Amino acid sequence: MACRVAEELSDELLAKGCEVVMTSSFGGILGYAKTDKRQDYTPIDQLIPEGFSQDIDFGIVLGGDGTVLAACRQVALCGIPLLTVNTGHMGFLTETYVSQLSQAVDQLMAGDYQVEERTMLRVQVWREERLIWEALCLNEMVLHREPLTSMCHFEIQIGHHAPVDIAADGVIISTPTGSTAYSLSAGGPVVTPGVPVLQLIPICPHSLASRALVFSNQEQVQIFPANPTSMVMVVDGNGGCAVLPQDSVQVHKAEYGARFIRLQRPEFFRILREKLGWGLPHIAKPTSVELP
């Protein structure tokens, strides 16, 4: 469906006098690194699709949340604002639907929209003071053990603060955008997009004291996996890298972020209500059985 809509949309924009450049989200898919010593990855500055630059006025993304995440990685360095159109399922990150696309294009052409900035993270894996893997992410970074889930130990340092030891199945570093994704399922709080914070969420912690922590997004996070076996790091649920016991993971706010086109004033609580049912009134349903 997305491919057909893309062709039709391209014809419509060309007819309006626009110059159109098209690409797939494949270039923003991270893939899974092997567990050997070689870690394959594409440097962040080489993810930009051919023909894309800062001169592009706007981009239109057709797909679901996974496509949106990949597109953000591809154009983050260019700063291109993106209109996200849902052709998938949940579409939590999307702004509009295919049925409303013609009206949305008219608004874009008229400049009748706002741009919302979202924080992205730069995630790096270091081995013997050498960078072996890195990626951008919009939602979260997850570090855990594979193939079996079991308790692991992590030594984590946030900024200049003293390191802490966390025993858990894994840990999540999340942005406000990611607070409604895996972080939410793991018990983390929902954070509105404009708040300049990150979250640390232990997955199934082995202590009542190890709970979600919210901290400034100006702080760098360093994670040292204190385990005798390798672990797996997954970024945005899309792909990741093997992390050996001697490795360290560094996470910090990226120099550039995701830019989303909003056709109406951003209303985060409305999205929470429509997509996740947050804040809906609880109304008791009358029973159909007559009680004595």
Query: Binding residue per annotation — 180?
Result: yes
Query: Binding residue per annotation — 290?
Result: no
Q: φ, ψ for residue 213 (rounded to 5)?
A: -125, 130
Buried b (16+ CB within 10 A) or exposed e, 127-147: eeeeebbbbbbbbbbbbbbee
Query: Binding residue per annotation — 184?
Result: yes
> Do 212 and 222 contact (CB within 8 A), yes or no?
no
Query: Binding residue per annotation — 177?
Result: no
Query: Binding residue per annotation — 256?
Result: no
Query: Binding residue per annotation — 238?
Result: yes
Q: How far apart are CA 94 and CA 85, in angstroms?
A: 6
65 is a catalytic site residue: yes
Question: Computed from CA positions of residues 8, 258, 222, 204, in that sequence, does the dihedral angle turn out positive or negative?
Answer: negative
Is there a cis peptide before residue 81, judged by omega within 30 degrees of 0? no
Amino acid at 204: C
Which one is catalytic: 57, 65, 106, 165?
65
Using a CB cutoff of 8 Å and minimum separation of 24, what contacts does 97-100 make?
98/1, 98/5, 98/62
Token pair in block for residue 6:
């893309």
Query: Binding residue per annotation — 139?
Result: yes
Query: Binding residue per annotation — 97?
Result: no
Q: What are the residue numbers of the active site?
A: 65
Q: What residues form the annotated binding site for NAD(+)? A: 65-66, 139-140, 169, 180-185, 238
